Amino acid sequence: MLDSHGYYEFGLFKGFSLWFAEQVSRDHRGEDFYFYGFDSFEGLPRSQVDMDPICWREGNYAASLEFVMNQLRSYGGDLEKTRLYKGWFSKELFNGLRENDEFLPAAICVIDCDVYESCVEALGFVKEYPFTPLSPEWRRGWANGVSCDVTVMTGGRGPC
């Protein structure tokens, strides 16, 4: 049973993976398990890292907060247990969120930022809410107790 913890997702696009995690966890979580979703809802930010300009162009993968909320609602997502946060990933954003909201320890964390600078900021935030890896292969990407996708950490050039 997942109790007194949260699911953290950085980079939502249309919200499908957040919705899916909420759906599959329904039989395995307690009343005090929450889903935290973070996104600019304006697409990718400009990056200083040299990346493929077609896949990782500024503004790609934009879906508004209203669109994502409507998607979650239309597919039966539990909006009472879901909190979405809008903003460009930065120390200022995350410090403000910490001051204005309470976050539970992370049970699961998905970082799908696509842009190196955003990934660094997400890792800086989530390291305050430590969690345990789900499988041994996740350990290869651990740094300071935080799991990450190595390709995201290096500004990955995976397929679009």
Question: What are the pLDDT digits (tens) for 125-137?
Answer: 988 876 554 433 3
Q: pTM for this structure?
A: 0.81
Residues 24-29: contacts with CB under 8 Å, at least 24 apart: 26/78, 28/1, 28/2, 29/1, 29/2, 29/3
CATH architecture of the domain with range 6-153 = 3-Layer(aba) Sandwich (3.40)
Q: Tell me what pLDDT residue 90 has.
A: 96
Q: Tell me what pLDDT residue 85 has.
A: 98
Residue 8 has pLDDT above 80, yes or no: yes
Handedness of CA 45, 46, 51, 52 (dihedral sign): positive
Asked whether 89 and 122 are in contact (CB, 8 A), the reply is yes
Question: What are the pLDDT digits (tens) for 94-137?
Answer: 999 999 999 998 888 888 888 888 988 998 898 887 655 443 33
Domain ranges of the chain: 6-153
Q: Tell me what pLDDT residue 82 has.
A: 97
List of E strands, the chain = 6-10, 34-39, 82-86, 106-111
The overall average pLDDT reported for the chain is 81
The whole-angstrom separation of Cα 153 and Cα 141 is: 9
